[in-house]
Chain A
Amino acid sequence: MPRKRYIQAINETLFQEMERDDKVILIGEDVELAIFGDTRGLYERFGPSRIRNTPICEATLTGMAVGMAAAGYRVILHMMFSNFVYTGFDAIANQMTKLRLMTGGQMELPITLIAGYGGGRATAAQHSDSPHPVLMNLGGMNVLMPATPADAKGLLATAVRGRNPSIYLEASGRGGDSGEVPDGEYLVPLGKAAIAREGTDVTIVAIGTMLKPALAAAKKLAEEGISAEVLDPRCLVPLDEEAILASLAKTGRLVVVDEARDRCSAASHIAAIAADRGFADLKAPVKRVAFENVPMAYAPNVEAAYFPSAERIAAAAAGIMTKAKVIS
């Protein structure tokens, strides 16, 4: 299987899906030049009726995506940085995620929002958020967070071909990461987690970009004689609860790692599921390793101090190995 960069896998998938279905239209700010590289070359291949730069007006673009979908198109709206989801949030929250139900199922909304998320590049608080928790809470939108180049391809193709709105959160800081990517048609079903590393003592659920530090933590833990299983949910909506619970049943311990702020995060949601449906399997409290409940700082040393790191993940896992009961 060929190795490809994460951003290259996305780019090739966009070519593939736009070749496959001429109803697929991609719009967004600066998509013709493609500052992230993901839409590069599409304009030259497909021209302005399929891919087009928009004005900087997210509040209108998200609403336009709904109208374009109602007019029969499959819309890919590139929102650049995920913080701009907030600028365009009205039509996401009030129209895109609600109109299918509010019309009694009349409206088809095959819309894929793409946005680069996450910190680690000194972009400060307005260009580094991980907004998946608020999107998960809308209840009418799939939330996809591919961590590997293969999943970047497979999840994007599935989202674009699907019938529902999806947000596809691109790991901004991982664009250069390489991995094996299947050639040709490759679809990853929504709501199917992947086991990134098998283990028996503790389950580490790592969301999106957190897969890399979680795997590094698992390696460190192995050196200490602790066998960590690392699970990548890949999608947060729909969420593969059964896979998480099955892993928990095997290991009896759970650490959830999330780059979002801890309060009402995906990590806290998964911890709640474990407490509710996996209680009998738990040998120790569920631990969350997430960002603190503050915005992200600019200075790299401060940013790093708040970021979930391999060290923090390993410490959290080791902590519930030694303390079987109440933890301070």
Chain B
Amino acid sequence: MNQLANIDTERDRNWLALYENMLLIRRAEERLCAEAQAGTLPGTVHSYIGQEASAVGVCSLLREDDYITSTHRGHGHYLAKGGDLDAMFAEIWGRADGICKGMGGSMHVADVSRGILGANGIVGGGLAISTGAAFGAQLEGKGKIAVCFFGDGAANQGVFMESMNIATAWSLPVIFLCENNGLSEFTVSSQVTGGDLIDRARAFGMFAEQVDGNDVIAVQEVVARAIDHARAGNGPCYVETTTYRIRGHLEAEDLFLGGGRYRTPEEIAAWQTAERDPILRFARRLIEETGLSESDLTAVEEAVAGRVEAAVQFANASGPADVELPRRVTFADQQP
């Protein structure tokens, strides 16, 4: 973004980077949704559209060697933590140049070299993994932390309680980052959830805060304190970002719903307004509170569009996944 001459403060540069990262996730996923609807992708796509401020706000404050675990809705976390877009698209296209060489797909993008321990197809699957990574980080003593992204649906898995318990008992540097979008797959979470989720964390006496998850700056403010708390060795934290999933649980979910529905079009539309959509909101704030202009944001938009198009071309140009790979990779140094 250095070509934008009218950015003169560090804050404005940081804010523009947040905007660009959110927009990249949004435009990348819009393209994935379109491809999925067109039937050009081999598997399913679970989009993060509408929740971008959570991943970007959190990951903008992490070190490269910090760990994250993600969910089945993991493209945003992967990109926000620095994962490569081209390699992610090639992965979702099921190609050899995918970040996981085509062995994981959309629900399992991972880049271990960047601490991205993987999106996960098991709801709640990251809770214990991040707790274990935090234990490793604590033993290592280099100030690393682990952030576990999970949803309100996963909060009803027993491992949530177990992980919070052991993290509290051992004072582990892990942040349980609950992205509460109000939906557990195709069920409204309030229908299947007892009490308030944050009270579960409070029961352990841990740092527990809730924040508007569609306000990237507000997310940063709360998470910055949580990170300081965890990195200083004061134990685990719970941060709940309240947000909303705009797209279905997965693309083409209507095929599964048999004409039924679990929410109204009006409810969805209410979260897409300029007041609530995390990207539209932040764009307005950039114009109002920084020296940036509409044309600067348009330039960002064009740059992002170019990256997305390039990623599609990269994926399409990549060769097929290696059929031998499961036999070679499942075990290190031995035959399966």
Chain A residues proximal to chain B, CB less than 8 Å: 25, 49, 52, 54-55, 57, 59-73, 90-91, 94-95, 99-108, 139-140, 142, 162-164, 190-191, 238
Contacts and interface: CB of A to CB of B under 8 A. Distances in A.
A102 B136 contact: no
B300 interface: no
B214 interface: no
B132 A63 contact: yes
A56 B129 CA distance: 17
A22 B103 CA distance: 33
Nearest to A65: B132
Interface of B: 67, 69, 98-104, 108, 110-113, 117-118, 120-122, 125, 127-137, 139-140, 144, 146, 158-159, 162-163, 165-166, 169-170, 325-326, 328-336
Q: Which of B113, B133, B144 has the most CB of A within 10 A?
A: B133
Q: Which of A61, A67, A142 has the most CB of B within 10 A?
A: A67
Nearest to B134: A67
B135 to A, nearest CB: 6
A107 B159 contact: no
Given A55-B165, A63-B128, 14 more contacts: A57-B159, A60-B128, A60-B159, A60-B166, A64-B128, A66-B132, A71-B133, A72-B140, A99-B118, A101-B103, A101-B326, A106-B112, A107-B118, A140-B336
Given A60-B166, A101-B103, A139-B330, A66 B129 contact: yes
Contacts of A62: 128
B127 A105 contact: no
A63 B330 contact: no
A91 B137 contact: no
Contacts of B159: 57, 59-60, 63, 90
Q: Which of B132, B159, B334 has the most CB of A within 10 A?
A: B132
Given A68-B135, A95-B125, A100 B163 contact: no
A128 B127 CA distance: 30
Nearest to B332: A163
A163 B333 contact: yes
B166 A105 contact: no
A162 B329 CA distance: 15
A67 B135 contact: yes
Contacts of B169: 55
Nearest to B165: A55
A103 B139 CA distance: 25
Contacts of B333: 162-164
A124 to B, nearest CB: 25
A91 B126 CA distance: 10
A155 to B, nearest CB: 14
